[in-house]
Amino acid sequence: MITRRTALAAGLAAPFVANGRVRAQAPSRNETLLLIQEYGPNSLDMQGIGASQPVNGVALNCYDRLLRFKPVPIPGGGGHQVAMTELEGELAESWQVASDGMSCTFTLREARFHSGRLVTARDVKWSLDRAVSIGGFATTQMNAGSLEKPEQFVALDDRTFRVDFARRDKLTMPNLAVTIPFVFDSELARRNGGDDPWAKEWLKNNVAGSGAFKVESWKPGVETVYVRNDAWASGRRPSLRRVIARDIASPSTRRALIERGDADISYGLPPKDFKDLIDGGKVKVVGVPIPNGVWSLYLNTKVGPFADVRLRQAVAWAVPYEKILQASLFGRGVAMSGGPETPRVAWPQPFPYRPDPARAKALAAAAAPGGFATTLLFDAGNATVAEPMAVLIKEALAPLGIAVEITKVPGSNFRGEIGKKTNPMVLNRFAGWLDYPDYYLFWTLHGNNSIFNIASYQNPELDRLVDAARFTSDPAAYDRSVIDFVSLVEREVPMVPIAQPTHDVAMQKTIGGYQFQPCREPDFRYLTKG
């Protein structure tokens, strides 16, 4: 009997056939990868306002940056992760930091865009000018490494480019290796951009890169098809010629397709499924603790009841941390509770809070004697983890007189929603692309008020401590600043860290070359299919 699932699986397992005929010179099965994911990109431009998390994958695979992070083996085996303090060239053939430490000059390799044009220093300048000027997440990300003004970027000649540093900042060079400062074919973009100097609308729907893959077709909510760029000059030519990234909302369908061998690789399955797949042994599962990554409950410090610090502390004493770790993440992570009173120089690290219902009730009764109703929001794209978290938090807050209504927001709209900064409670998993405690707090709680400062937290003392850690060259001063700002956050509780999760990926045993990236999106450039 042919069921809907059988028909779907047949379509997924046969990506080489179109209109009943085999395509001429189609990639072989060993050159075509079928990725199944919960949802795909809502844009093709990661610098654009409102770009969703999967757009990072487009930037990673279809564009090049000056630098990239050096791959190192995953300690438990299964592939590579990256060392975020070690850099190697991507478009840059070589680079030299000036003797005064205030600039870096890059020599570009001879690379071509997908259009066939040579990549020049003028393209690099236009692209970095765009990143610091376009606003939103892209500009804040650039600012996180003191990359702030177009005047800092200088095209010396076609193949020589200089970045002038605004200040001595340890994050400047590694920030050039994250997915945001990628290089566009500026002539192609400007030619199609009309009156918009940054071609925002055109680049939202078109790729103008030099990366290892091109987008052959993109059907939002359905699939994205990538084809290899045989002229890629910034690394070894990928083994895969074609990647089909198909969006399938149902996690049970994705798991079934992986288990049956009808799909090659999948990210974003529920933690229970990954645990079951590990126990079953039919497919390979590779897990990496997400560097600088935490699931947290953000409490709005400006709007609504949680402007009162006593209620934020009450929530922190009420959250059932270990129960959430097991019921929501199935042990695939580390609970962030029961830490020491004096924090360590580390992030993530457990806060000193643990479930203490009596203490939580006393604080809530003092701050809101009659109780109140509120809402808790999360990204529906992360529902398999976030929903059981939300339910357990709702249950834990009910005895405090806090009635919680749970609200899901589609993944494509989530960043726009949190950007409003009006929601009383938000569950979110944030992971910093650079592995420093001060970097994490810069994004989530600093007064720059980035989109990820979901709590709308503003505290000049925290800003002073985070900035001091970021710019000091004195290790002892750095340690003091980290301990002080983590202690401050533990007292003020604008966010309640719940767990550091593991990033898992399931793949057939014939798949090799896996590489975990800080942006947590699939890196097709190194994958192989045996």
pLDDT in tens, 284-306: 999 998 989 999 999 999 999 99
Mean pLDDT for the stretch of residues 409-429? 92
DSSP-based three-state secondary structure for 473: coil
Which residues have a Cβ under 8 Å from the Cβ of 395 and sit 6 or more positions away?
none
Residue 176 Cα distances to 66, 84, 301, angstroms: 7, 11, 33
pLDDT at 462 over 70: yes
Q: What's the 3-state SS for 350-412?
A: CCCCCCCHHHHHHHHHHHCCCCEEEEEEEEHHHHHHHHHHHHHHHHHHHHHCEEEEEEEECHH
Q: Position 65: which residue type?
A: R
Q: Percentage helix, strand, coil, to 5, in the chain?
A: 35, 25, 40
Strands (E), 222-357: 223-228, 242-247, 265-267, 284-289, 293-299, 333-335
Q: Position 341: which residue type?
A: E
Mean pLDDT for the stretch of residues 170-189? 97
Query: d(Cα 370, Cα 421) in Å, to the nearest integer?
Result: 26
* pLDDT at position 412: 79
Helix axes 383-397, 309-318, angle to 10 degrees: 110
Q: Is the dihedral of CA 22, 27, 28, 33 positive or negative?
A: negative
Report the percentage of the chain scoring pLDDT > 70. 95
Mean pLDDT for the stretch of residues 451-466? 96
Q: Per-residue confidence at 37, pLDDT binned at 50, 70, 90?
A: very high
What digits encode the pLDDT tens for the residues 89-101? 999 999 999 999 9
End-to-end CA separation in angstroms for the chain: 32
Q: What are the residues facing 14 on neighbouring strands?
A: none
Mean pLDDT for the stretch of residues 3-24? 42
Select the more confidently predicted residue: 240 or 137: 240
* pLDDT at position 25: 67
Do 223 and 246 touch, CB atoms closer than 8 A? yes
Q: What's the 3-state SS for 105-148?
A: EEEECCCECCCCCECCHHHHHHHHHHHHHCCHHHHHHHHCCCCC
Structure tokens at 322: 């270990």
Q: What are the residues facing 89 on neighbouring strands?
A: 67
Report the percentage of the chain scoring pLDDT > 90. 86
* pLDDT at position 233: 98
* pLDDT at position 143: 92
Mean pLDDT for the stretch of residues 409-432? 92
Select the more confidently predicted residue: 420 or 29: 420
Structure tokens at 222: 């359905």
**pTM tops 0.85, yes or no:** no
Select the more confidently predicted residue: 113 or 1: 113
Mean pLDDT for the stretch of residues 83-88? 92
What digits encode the pLDDT tens for the residues 314-359? 999 999 999 999 999 999 999 999 999 999 999 999 999 999 999 9
pLDDT at 18 over 70: no
Burial class (CB in 10 A: 0-12, 13-18, 19+), 401: middle
pLDDT at 262 over 50: yes
pLDDT at 371 over 70: yes
Mean pLDDT for the stretch of residues 113-131? 98
Query: d(Cα 88, Cα 174) in Å, to the nearest integer?
Result: 10
pLDDT at 2 over 70: no
Average pLDDT, the chain: 93
Closest CA to 153 of 93, 106, 187, 111: 106
